[in-house]
Amino acid sequence: MQFRRFYHIGKVLLQHGLDELIPVRFRPWYMRFARRCAFWLPNKHKSESEGRRLRLALETLGPVYIKFGQMLSTRRDLLTEDIATELSMLQNNVPPFDSELAQETIRRSLGIDDLSELFSEFEAKALASASIAQVHAATLKSDNKKVVVKVLRPGIKQTIEADVDLLISIARLLQKWLPDGKRLRPVEVVEEYKRTILDELDLLREAANGIQIKRSFDDSNALYVPHFYSEHCRKDVIVMERVFGIPVSDVTALRAQNTNMKLLAERGVEVFFTQVFRDSFFHADMHPGNIFVSREHPQDPLFIGIDYGIVGTLNKEDKRYLAENFLAFFNRDYRKVAELHADSGWVPADTNIADFEMAIRTVCEPIFQKPLEDISFGNVLLQLFNTARRFNMVVQPQLVLLQKTLLYVEGLGRQLYPQLDLWSTAKPFLENWMTDQIGPVALFKKVYENLPFWSEKLPEMPDLLYDGMKQLKRIPIEQKKYHELQIEAIRSTQKARFYSHLAAAFSVIAVLMYLFDKPDWCSLGLGFLGGLCWMMSWRKLS
């Protein structure tokens, strides 16, 4: 099964001519020879541009690869204009599946015989289509509200599981044979990705994620989350409020309505850091197809987020280390950054901190306090990879989603307002967050939060204190008993060893006397003594 899928992937790549995207200097003779041998798989899209060939290939391969294309589409600094433009079509312009099939799924999931029972209007043509699902515009019959109905693609789970299982097999080979395999932890990364993308196939989970993030940003002037009609949400169908914003990627339309682009970019950074550090629950699929900008109040712009199928979470330890790393970086305290990496176990404990500090300084100092438009992200990535390899930095699978989301945010900021100083925008937020976490206000807040628990336990404190003192008093007695038992055990072991040596000696002598034709009663007597000694040895050990 996996071999067939692997062959299919290779077939699609070759038939779309993607091997030609590899520069000639990186194609050794044996690769060119192997390509000529696969003569039955010619390039069928020679007349198409490189970007279109790549997009069509990813669409053909399915959702796992479309997700990869969506992430790449935000990196116009790394791609040619043709490839970036074509890949941006993967954000919400993937070919839709049959509308009749979508309507049948909606009727079956919502338990209705006809769509008119729930909707006064329903558009059969898909409003938008992505890798996992597609959406149809509709109007609710009960309150005449405009909504969208999101429907999962049929058979999508089997396709995704097959692709991810293949990726896991490849990852196992890479982890075993690559020199950096153990450090990069490809198996754990793919397993984390598998869990994430399979969670996305449960639309009930997406609705719950959206409701939680909406509650967190109820009073926010930075992010609006559409309303989810939870009574009409199922595992493969959800109904949510329809929004009429401007796609965040349509910079021309945003400028045409005189949007405050600087404030918009800053609020994007604010939303990201708020979700990560305040809520520990962040939208991890922030490609431009899922982000809109409200048409109202362009001078006070408001983001609109959709598609909450993929969310990320952080535990307290990772969140604290990340915040401290960011702050140390913003303060140019590269020594602190190096020490934090060692303390968290992200680099080996025996790492030379001075050397690691210098390597971080070499990467970070040239980009510090520069606007996004002046940063060569490709060069930064290359230096980061080289630094990670040199110091055996271990990949953290639980942070892969966060790193992907940070790439999305940085890519969006580059599109919206290239002059944005990402560092100065984020630094005040992190400083305030750290103050809230470790200052006197944070201490008072934690005590106040635990007050009900302590007030409930307070009457029990005298008894607990008395019991604790009694146990403390008995500790020396218990230790003495334990020490005596240890001594007795050692003595028993020594006696058992002594008897076993005697048993072995009597047994050997008895055998020798029998072999040299000595009187039988001598052999039997010594054998009996040997057996007795074996029994004594066993009793001492039992």
Active site residues: 285
- Residue type, position 356, single letter: F
Question: Nearest Cα to 268, choosing from 318, 223, 215, 308?
Answer: 223
d(C-alpha 224, C-alpha 501), whole Å: 82
Burial 206-224 (b: 16+ CB within 10 A, else e): bbbbbbebbebbeebebbb
Q: At what angle do helices 81-88 and 63-73 cross, to 10 degrees?
A: 130
- Enter the tokens of residue 309: 């199928």
| Beta strands 291-293 and 119-122, pairing class | unpaired
CA dihedral 360, 365, 368, 370 (to 10 degrees): -130
SS3 304: strand
Radius of gyration of the chain (CA): 34
Burial (0-12, 13-18, 19+ Cβ within 10 Å), 345: exposed
Which residues face 122 on adjacent strands?
138
Amino acid at 396: Q
- Residue (of 292, 286, 285, 202) closest to 242 by Cα position: 292
Element at 173 (helix H, strand E): helix 156-177
Q: Strand 223-224 vs strand 303-305: parallel, antiparallel, or unpaired?
A: parallel
CA distance 13 to 65: 12
Give kind and range of the element (H or E) at residue 321. helix 316-330
Cα–Cα distance for residue pair 203/216, rounded to 1 Å:
20
Backbone CA torsion sign across 418, 421, 422, 428: negative
